[in-house]
Amino acid sequence: MTVAPAARINALPGAREQLLEATSQLMREGDVIDISLAELSVRSGLNSALVKYYFGNKAGLLKALLDRDWQAIVTSVDALVHKEDWDAETKMRRHISKVVDTFFAVPYLNPLTLRMVRESSESEARRIADCYLAPMYRAYESMIGEGVRQGLFRAIDPQLFYFTVTGAVDRFFAARLVLKHCFDQDTLTERHRDRYREHVIDIIMAGILAR
Amino acid sequence: MTVAPAARINALPGAREQLLEATSQLMREGDVIDISLAELSVRSGLNSALVKYYFGNKAGLLKALLDRDWQAIVTSVDALVHKEDWDAETKMRRHISKVVDTFFAVPYLNPLTLRMVRESSESEARRIADCYLAPMYRAYESMIGEGVRQGLFRAIDPQLFYFTVTGAVDRFFAARLVLKHCFDQDTLTERHRDRYREHVIDIIMAGILAR
């Protein structure tokens, strides 16, 4: 592909979002973080010079994808925490269900986050922590505190609980290869997702509900 | 370093185990799977030609480490499953406690396993699944089946439960960087391990015990 003039590149409507979505799809399908600009160009049908135009370089593209996916999560968790008419148990069930959906849709998000934190400058790592991880932690603190006050939950540590929930879900979706070789299941279907959602909500809610 | 003659290399007592242990330490400390033979030589104090001698190449070294760590786990789980005088609840509590210890000692094991499965031939991937993953799954099936028969556990899916347990623990130890930037905790100490052990046993046992 040849490099199009900047003026023409500028004019493409939706190209930025298209590049992000194509990146997301490639990571999800390949179960990898490392994608090539050549692959991305083929998948998106867009000139790879657009990556430079919109994101500066590949690191910028990955950062924009991280921002896209995390912003959706943080906004949704924030709305959930502030639902005045739901009790803490309802909120937590809905939240875990959403975490399962999220890891099904963007299974690369945890590895991508860890990698960006590892490979970024101290200030960018801090930004990721402040913008995405800290709000999640505060949401857990709020939901669990509420549940304890309402007499619904046992008093558990929100930070450790956050690791328990995301870990339990993350591992399942990171483990497609294990599923394949160990259980002869070649792909992770929506049926798997629904079965796992039910299982994980069942175990974790039983784990935190006051008797 | 110069390459020592094979006869002399052959004579080094414990060198094979020393190389494996140094590899394990480097992965644990650096939170990485990719270590260089130069680093390994410095850490072990051994000539890196010994890697070729004992393991053929770096892939062989990684395979031997995977075997070393998994064999210890499978042997220990097998002994636990066959403890005649323990009920299923005691077994499961002890098992989860051991999983926490294992991921604390060898936090690279899950990423290493996934990578070896991904990068190996079909037959080697199958061997890993058969020798290490399938026995774990069968142990879960046995312990949970026993617990249900003893009226101690609810009937839950052993395969999904296996993902829940290992995920909940794995994520915690894979997330040192998150701890650092999000919670200002620079290292993962034995105190963290003990706190998390207590938390995860508490949540998961409450999740599976029959009411």
> Which residues of A fall within a CB distance of 8 Å from B125?
177, 181
Angstroms from B137 CA to nearest CA on chain A: 9
> Which residues of chain A are within 8 Å of residue B164 when distances are taken between CB atoms?
168, 171-172, 199-200, 203
The DSSP code for B48 is: T
Give the per-residue pLDDT at A50: 94
pLDDT at A3: 47
Predicted confidence band of residue A90 (pLDDT cuts 50, 70, 90): very high
- Name, in order, each residue with C-beta under 8 angstroms of B90's C-beta and a sequence gap of 6 or more: none
Among residues B172, B174, B70, B161, which one has the least CA distance to residue B116?
Answer: B70
| Tokens representing residue A205 in the block | 């809610």
Preferred mutation among A164, A176, A180, A211 to probe B, highest tally of B CBs within 10 A: A164
Alpha-helix runs per DSSP H in chain B: 6-11, 15-30, 37-44, 49-55, 58-81, 88-105, 109-119, 122-128, 134-149, 158-174, 176-183, 190-208
What is the predicted pLDDT for the residue at A20?
97
Are the Cβ atoms of A160 and B128 closer than 8 angstroms?
Answer: no
Least confident of A88-92, B2-6, B27-31, B193-197: B2-6
Q: The CATH number of A65-208 is which of 1.10.357.10, 1.10.645.10, 3.20.20.70, 1.10.3720.10? A: 1.10.357.10
From the CB of residue A106, how many other CB atoms can be counted at a distance below 10 Å?
21
In DSSP terms, which residues pair with A209 in a beta bridge? Answer: A153
Q: Residues B67-75: what's their mean pLDDT? A: 94
Q: Across all residues in chain A, what is the average pLDDT?
A: 87
pLDDT at B189: 80
**Minimum Cα–Cα distance from B197: chain A residue:** A160
**Centroid of chain to Cα B166:** 10
Decide if pLDDT at A43 tops 50. yes
B chain contacts of residue A133, beta-carbon cutoff 8 Å? 178, 181-182
pLDDT at A148: 96
Q: Where are the alpha helices (DSSP H) in chain A?
A: 6-10, 15-30, 37-44, 49-55, 58-81, 88-105, 109-119, 122-128, 134-149, 158-174, 176-183, 190-208
What pLDDT score was predicted for residue B196? Answer: 87
**3-state DSSP call for residue B156?**
coil
Per-residue confidence band for B2, with pLDDT thresholds at 50, 70 and 90: very low
Nearest CB neighbour to B167, from listed A159, A160, A171: A171
Give the N- to C-terminal CA distance of chain A in Å, as an integer. Answer: 64
Q: B153 — phi, psi (to 5°)?
A: -110, 155
Instruction: Please indicate whether, in this complex, the C-beta atoms of B171 and A166 are within 8 angstroms of each other.
Output: yes
* Facing B168 at nearest CB: one of A154, A168, A211: A168
How far apart are the CA of B158 and the nearest CA of chain A, in angstroms? 10
| Contact B156/A at CB under 8 A | yes
Distance from CA of A15 to the nearest CA of B (A): 32
CATH number for domain B1-56, candidates 1.10.10, 1.10.287, 1.10.1740, 2.50.20: 1.10.10
Task: Give the pLDDT mean for A84-105.
Answer: 92
Q: Which token pair is A105?
A: 């849709």
What is the pLDDT, as a whole number, of residue B29? 84
Question: Nearest-CA distance from A47 to chain B in Å?
Answer: 31
Q: How far is CA B131 from CA B56, B78, B86, B117, B135, in A?
A: 22, 12, 25, 12, 7
Domain range list for chain A = 1-56, 65-208
User: Among the listed ranges A28-42, B32-46, B133-147, B186-200, which one has the minimum average pLDDT value?
Assistant: B186-200
- Residue A30 touches chain B, beta carbons under 8 Å: no
The answer to whether B172 contacts A156, with C-beta atoms less than 8 Å apart, is no
How far is C-alpha A140 from the chain's CA centre? 16
What pLDDT is attached to residue B135?
92
* Cβ burial, residue A184 (10 Å; 0-12/13-18/19+): exposed
Q: Is the pLDDT of residue B188 over 80?
A: no
What lies within 8 Å, CB to CB, of A91 at 6+ separation is A80, A81, A83, A143, A146
- Mean pLDDT, rounded, for A114-131: 87
Provide the shortest C-alpha distance from residue B80 to chain A (in Å). 22
The torsion defined by the Cα of B64, B65, B71 and B73, in degrees rounded to 10, comes to -170
pLDDT band at B3 (very low <50, low <70, confident <90, very high): very low
Residues 100-129 on B with a CB inside 8 Å of A are 110, 113-114, 117-118, 125-126, 128-129
Residues of chain B contacting A169 with CB distance shorter than 8 Å: 167
Check whether A11 has a pLDDT greater than 60.
no
Q: Across all residues in chain B, what is the average pLDDT?
A: 87
Per-residue model confidence (pLDDT) at position A181: 64
pTM for the model stands at: 0.82
B151 φψ region: left (φ > 0), alpha (ψ -120 to 50), beta (else):
left
Residues A49, A5 contacting (CB under 8 angstroms): no
- Lowest mean pLDDT, pick from A9-13, A41-45, A124-128, B2-6: B2-6
Number of inter-chain CB pairs under 8 A, A vs B: 137
